Structure 1
């Protein structure tokens, strides 16, 4: 399943494991990795790899 802007997601691996929020700014890097910005309910935001999240 492809991740889209506005999807609710939960991080299941990596540095931000256990955090959740809404997907913003889906971007594919030069190396082919898909990165996303996750905006949390408290307003915090962080970048992570799309492979580390699952849509809820």
Structure 2
């Protein structure tokens, strides 16, 4: 668990705008797609960035954000 930081909501749903807060893709954001529970019980998420790039990350590494209106 991260010290002193509590995500607004960690209940990620398909279509939510998410920010990656830890791991390899820290600092990246996008729309959550293809949520899956792995055999080991961890949530994996495919994040689709605004430029169309995709990457996979663990659910524990993301926080749900308000939509980016840039």
| Fold match (TM-score > 0.5) | yes
List gaps (5 residues or longer) in structure 1.
none
List gaps (5 residues or longer) in structure 2.
1-9, 66-70
Counting strand residues as a fraction of each chain, which structure ranks higher?
1
Q: Which has the larger radius of gyration?
A: 2
Distance between the aligned counterparts of 1:47 and 1:15, measured in 2? 10
Please give the root-mean-square deviation of Cα atoms over the aligned residues, in Å: 0.6
Moved over 4 A (4+): none
Distance between the aligned counterparts of 2:15 and 2:31, measured in 1? 6
**CA displacement 1:14-35 (0-9 Å, x = unmatched):** 0000000000000000100000
Q: Secondary structure at the match of 2:34?
A: strand
* TM-score, normalization by structure 1: 0.97
